[in-house]
Amino acid sequence: MYFIMKKALLLGALVALLFGCNTASTQNTTEIKDKPATDETTVRYLDAMPADFNEDDLFEFILDYGGYDMIVDAWQMPDGDWLIPYHWCPEEEESFEVDEAGNLVEIEYKDPFEGKPYPVIHNPHFSFGTRNYGGETINFYKAPDSQEVVCTTDYKEISLDVVAVDTKTRRLQVKSNPKDWCWGEVEEEWQEGYRHPFVDLQGWVDEEWVCANTVTTCP
């Protein structure tokens, strides 16, 4: 269902800026994966786990790679790339996408990391859904160690792209994913069941709001 809704609502991205809140882009002194926008995602494989790997510094994300979304635990290496020591592929789920003719076709999964236990991703696309299922307000802070709020939202289950992380404060620098949707109260003309105001959000959020499950909510 996640895939159907995401594909079905791509056209709504044209109104992304209409529902935003104004906020200036923030500076991040801790970011070490600042890659050019044209830099492609690539993967290399390690023969063994790095000696300085720290499981306490793992973050859970949704990784868009190999043609579908995977649930991953990711650790940022000193060079800015990401080690994926654990990942889950939703092979047991029935998922579909819309082909060019407008027909629903079942997605056939193939684990791109199968048999390769230590993949390292360069310039990955990480995202997650917010777990404010009751409409709780999420604060977006100016910096990982700041209490200055630059933006807020109470829209439910927003999809956010990950820009950077701070392991000390366990905050994530994020921005809106304009190709996805979120729940919220909007005008009546929106299709019932697909209330999806697009929001222009950016800043640092607390890890407690992260849900990286692609098929259900998080406890």
Domain-by-domain residue ranges, the chain? Answer: 2-211
Query: Contact at 8 Å (CB) between 97 and 69?
Result: no
The confidence score (pLDDT) of residue 130 equals 92
What the block records as the tokens of 37 is 């926008």
The confidence score (pLDDT) of residue 137 equals 93
The residue with greater pLDDT, 215 or 169, is 169
User: How many CB atoms are closer than 10 A to CB 12?
Assistant: 17
Query: Residue 130: left (phi > 0), alpha (psi -120 to 50), or beta?
Result: beta
Distance, first Cα to last Cα, the chain:
19
110, burial (CB in 10 Å: exposed 0-12, middle 13-18, buried 19+): exposed
User: How many CB atoms are closer than 10 A to CB 101?
Assistant: 6
Q: State the pTM of this model.
A: 0.69
